[in-house]
Copies of this chain bind each other. A is one copy, B any other.
Amino acid sequence: MELLPPDQIAFQRMLDTIRRNFERFGFLPVETPVMELSEVLLTKSGGETERQVYFVQSTGAIENGINAVSDALDATDGGTTIDAERVRAATRELARPEMALRFDLTVPLARYVAEHEHDLAFPFRRYQMQRVYRGERAQRGRFREFYQCDIDVIGKDALSVRFDAELPAVIHAVFSELDIGAFTIQLNNRKLMRGFFEAQGVADPALQALVLREVDKLDKRGEDYVRQTLTGEGFDLPAEGVDRIMQFVKVRSTSHADALAQLDALGEGSESLREGVAELREVLELVRAMGVPEANYALNFSIARGLDYYTGTVYETTLNDYPQIGSICSGGRYEDLASHYTKSKLPGVGISIGLSRLFWQLREAGIIDSAGSTVQVLVTQMDAAHLPHCLAIASELRHGGLNTEVVMEPSKLGKQFKYADRAGIRFVVVLGEDEISKGTVTVKDLRREDQFEVARGELARTLRVELAQAEALQNT
């Protein structure tokens, strides 16, 4: 995804909004190098991830690798048989680079926290907004390079479930300010799910995963299909249990009180269920205490997320009017961030926004437009002899905090106006002999389509006020 400036500006504003809100909630910035040691990146990941990794080699390393293959061949070229094994080994070496590009921000976070453990204060609250890389075939809306915007709170040894309540508050702040329409933060809890499934006789986690995968097809294939599959060969679940499962995953709360009632309705159950219910109840109460409107969060017992990773609260966020976009911000609670890199136990909770994909989807759905220019004022040039005046005015405007471009090469005034209009620059400053002698300038407001004359000393202040008014209007 490579953008032209108007889209890049819109994208940058989204990044800025996200960052501002992450900082508002006390998260600290971290950036990690794009390359990690391959052995670090691939500790955890399975085959699927590994196939999507980009490996990196410097020219020097490649040269060494080729030389090794070449040596292996040379050693036998004139001889009787070729040492194919040696050639193969050298080739494998060449094909197994030491470094790779990060494919998410979680593995680098784990490595970072393990490496700097003694210099960090826990609970460690970090945000990270960087690009990640996956060797997927490029296709519409799927990018090989894309921004992720992550926050995580990492505890040492333990981390109270209260932190699980902060993340919905951050999500609410971010998406309210991004102003992309009504949204719902969907909450569930893995312990609650486990407890419920155990009660239905589905105790094995792998089997739970398989059942959930079938249940996920409800929307597409319908109830009958899913019921037949789960009661049929392979699963052999009792019809009654399947009905309860299908009832369960359809639960969506409609208000705060309804969410609490839904939790009550689950009854006592196993310890796992009780724990999950208690955690969700605490999270719900604190989310409300943090001022998140109840329209913006709901229980959704079908949310599972990565079954092998998340252990408690899980989140997804959807746009009410665009369910087809899917989750725009997901995450959850995990038991141990960095078990591969440190002996310390580091439980955490986090969320992630895949901004490149989201931006693309929002554009496709017509929810966001290109932004106006970052340039707020164009100082035109009527006569080359006036250039020093124009430059001085631009300098005053910049000191006054206004993003200002000056026309450096004289051309017809009409052409300069047209340029401003096309570029999305709102104010055009005109300076003729008349204005110079009076110490004024003429300002044309291309948005409101009017113009006014103002004393030079008042220019920056006047335009600042106009822009502040426009911004205030937009926010109401």
What's the Cα separation between A58 and B449 when bound, in Å? 53
- Chain B residues with CB under 8 Å of A135's CB are 58-61
What's the Cα separation between A32 and B387 when bound, in Å? 34
Interface-side segment among A199-207, A238-246, A401-409: A401-409
What's the Cα separation between A51 and B23 when bound, in Å? 41
Q: Are A50 and B55 in contact (CB-based, < 8 A)?
A: no
Given known contacts A35-B145, A82-B76, A162-B408, is B52 in contact with A29 (CB within 8 Å)? no
- Chain B residues with CB under 8 Å of A50's CB are 59
**Number of copies of chain A assembled together:** 2
A53 close to B (CB within 8 Å):
yes
**Complex interface residues of chain A between 95 and 154 (CB less than 8 A to chain B):** 95, 97, 101, 112, 116, 119-121, 123, 125-126, 131, 133, 135, 144-145
What's the Cα separation between A65 and B388 when bound, in Å? 61
Q: Are B120 and A4 in contact (CB-based, < 8 A)?
A: yes
Q: Are B160 and A408 in contact (CB-based, < 8 A)?
A: yes
Q: Are B374 and A29 in contact (CB-based, < 8 A)?
A: yes
- Chain B residues with CB under 8 Å of A249's CB are none
Q: Are A131 and B34 in contact (CB-based, < 8 A)?
A: yes
What's the Cα separation between A109 and B65 when bound, in Å? 32
Contact with B along A25-60 (1 / 0, CB 8 A): 110111111110000000000000011111111111
Q: Are A391 and B289 in contact (CB-based, < 8 A)?
A: yes
Q: Are A60 and B54 in contact (CB-based, < 8 A)?
A: no
Interface-side segment among A5-13, A303-311, A315-323, A324-332: A5-13
What's the Cα separation between A430 and B394 when bound, in Å? 47
Given known contacts A23-B374, A374-B29, A395-B291, is B408 in contact with A166 (CB within 8 Å)? yes
A436 close to B (CB within 8 Å):
no
- Chain B residues with CB under 8 Å of A455's CB are none
CB-nearest residue of chain B relative to A76? Answer: B82
Interface-side segment among A84-92, A267-275, A333-341: A84-92
Interface residues of A, Cβ cutoff 8 Å to B:
1-5, 8-9, 12, 23-26, 28-35, 50-63, 65-66, 69-70, 73, 76-77, 82, 84, 87-88, 91-92, 94-95, 97, 101, 112, 116, 119-121, 123, 125-126, 131, 133, 135, 144-145, 160, 162-163, 166, 169, 173, 285-286, 289-291, 373-375, 378, 387-388, 391-392, 394-395, 398, 401-406, 408-409, 419, 422-423
Q: Contacts A24-B403, A289-B392 known; list 20 others, CB within 8 Å.
A: A2-B33, A5-B29, A25-B398, A26-B403, A26-B405, A33-B145, A35-B54, A54-B56, A55-B56, A58-B135, A65-B95, A66-B91, A66-B92, A69-B69, A160-B409, A163-B408, A289-B387, A290-B391, A291-B392, A291-B395
Q: List 14 A-B contacts (CB under 8 A).
A: A8-B30, A8-B31, A25-B404, A25-B405, A34-B133, A35-B144, A51-B58, A57-B97, A61-B135, A69-B88, A73-B87, A163-B408, A166-B408, A289-B388
